[in-house]
Structure 1
Amino acid sequence: MTIYSTLLAEKFQKLHPKLQHRYALPLNQTFYAKGVMHQIENGGKLLSPFYHFASKLNFLFPESGENIPFTIANRCLLNQDGEAQVSWERTFFFPKAVRKFNAKMTIDLERQLVKDSLGDVPLFYSDLQFEVTKEGFLMITSGTQKLVLGKRELLIPNLFQGRVSVLEGYDEVKEVYTIHVSIYNSLIGRIMMYAGEFTESDC
């Protein structure tokens, strides 16, 4: 068992079998996939300076578009503290740029949540709650978020947090994984949204 099956415990068996396969992620093995994001939308020009800064950390990015090819690589390794840690590497191939959205996840069993460090230089941190829907899909929502400055962690006030909602499923007719991600702020509205589908690949 690795982090997601450990966290979800008996709920893991309620996931669609294809999602159980996707999120099993044994140590030292990688899940690769390729697909298309049918729609990617950011929050507009107001946030452009933030997107350009975040893109240098392989976090968020300024581009929007339709039918954008992308890849995913998930790998579980032991980190320097001996914890099982899953790396997320998402790459989006826009016509004029290649952008990445990377993260590293560990679990906190005491608080029953996933700890998500965003970007290659983890300035942004978020607690994530994982639940299984009645359809066997995986629903992920964000909780507490922090700004990480060296050894200091500054709690981001609720008003300024980006509320994350992720729904990942499997379409048995098309034989594809489906994904819908929304990051929303109560003051400025949408920060990022993307929705698409993908299939497992060899690399």
Structure 2
Amino acid sequence: MSIYKKVLNQQYDRLHPMLQKRYNFLNQAPFHATGVMKTIKAGPKFLYPLLWLGIKIKLLFPESGTDIPFKIINTPLAGPNGEEQIHWERIFYFGTKVRYFNALMSFDSDRMLIKDYLGEPSILYSDLAFTVSSEGSLKIESRKQRLVIGKFEIPLPSLFQGLATVTEKYCEEKRAFQISVDVRNPLIGHIFSYEGEFNPHDME
């Protein structure tokens, strides 16, 4: 059973059937898809030094744009203790520039949430809460976050957190997945966002 079926529990059956297939990882097969981001928006310019640093660890970037090609690869892995992990690789193509937004997720059975380590190497940790809407779309929200420095993880005060809200759904008319991501800080406001569509490879 995938980590997403575990965290959603009975809610999983309310997901749109295509979202159920997407998050099932049957036979531990990776999920591959390509698409176009209708919009990508970086935060205010004073954050650019931080966003440029994000390029080096495959977490965030300063570029904005419209109609940006991208691909997503979700790969099931086994962690050091045998726990199931899902590696998220999101790749954006700004002309000749290639940018990433990568993470490694696993399931916390005690707290019934997803553990999300962001960047490579990871410098940020976030609890993720998963819920299903009445229309069968998936909503993912950041909760508590920690700064990761080697083996140490330091809780971040709310004023320093970048909290993400993700909505993913399947559009029957377009036969495509639709995704929106919005990362905000309580003090600064908008940090990073994107919205677009993608089509899976080898998935009926």
TM beyond 0.5: yes
Q: Does residue 184 of structure 1 match 2:187?
A: no
Query: How far apart, CA to CA, are the structure 1 residues paired with 2:152 and 2:176?
Result: 41
Q: Does residue 48 of structure 1 match 2:48?
A: yes
Contact 1:2 1:27 survives alignment (8 Å):
no
Contact 1:26 1:76 survives alignment (8 Å):
no
Amino acid paired to 1:99:
R
**Aligned-residue offset at 1:201:** 1.7
**Aligned-residue offset at 1:163:** 1.2
State the aligned residue count: 203
Per-residue CA distance 1:161-185 (angstroms, 9 max, x = gap): 1111000000000110000000001
Amino acid paired to 1:65:
G
**Aligned-residue offset at 1:7:** 1.4
**Aligned-residue offset at 1:96:** 3.9
Contact 1:42 1:62 survives alignment (8 Å):
yes
Contact 1:146 1:155 survives alignment (8 Å):
yes
**Aligned-residue offset at 1:140:** 0.3
**Aligned-residue offset at 1:190:** 0.7
Partner of 2:48, secondary structure, is helix
**Aligned-residue offset at 1:44:** 2.5
Query: How far apart, CA to CA, are the structure 2 residues paired with 1:28 and 1:111?
Result: 24
Per-residue CA distance 1:142-179 (angstroms, 9 max, x = gap): 00000011121111100111111000000000110000
Q: TM-score, normalised by structure 2?
A: 0.97
**Aligned-residue offset at 1:9:** 1.3
The answer for unaligned runs of 5 or more in structure 1 is none
Distance 1:178 1:83, change over 3 A: same
User: Who is 1:170 aligned against?
Assistant: 170
Query: How far apart, CA to CA, are the structure 2 residues paired with 1:154 and 1:79?
Result: 22
Per-residue CA distance 1:28-83 (angstroms, 9 max, x = gap): 31100000000000102110100011110001011000000000000112111110
Runs of 4+ in 1 over 6 A off after TM superposition: none
Q: Does residue 30 of structure 1 match 2:30?
A: yes
Contact 1:27 1:77 survives alignment (8 Å):
no
Query: How far apart, CA to CA, are the structure 2 residues paired with 1:26 and 1:127?
Result: 25
After superposition, the CA RMSD in angstroms is: 1.2
Query: How far apart, CA to CA, are the structure 1 residues paired with 2:58 and 2:26?
Result: 25
**Aligned-residue offset at 1:27:** 5.2
Query: How far apart, CA to CA, are the structure 2 residues paired with 1:28 and 1:169?
Result: 22
Partner of 1:61, secondary structure, is coil
Partner of 2:26, secondary structure, is coil
Query: How far apart, CA to CA, are the structure 2 residues paired with 1:106 and 1:53?
Result: 25
The answer for unaligned runs of 5 or more in structure 2 is none
Contact 1:32 1:74 survives alignment (8 Å):
yes
Q: TM-score, normalised by structure 1?
A: 0.97
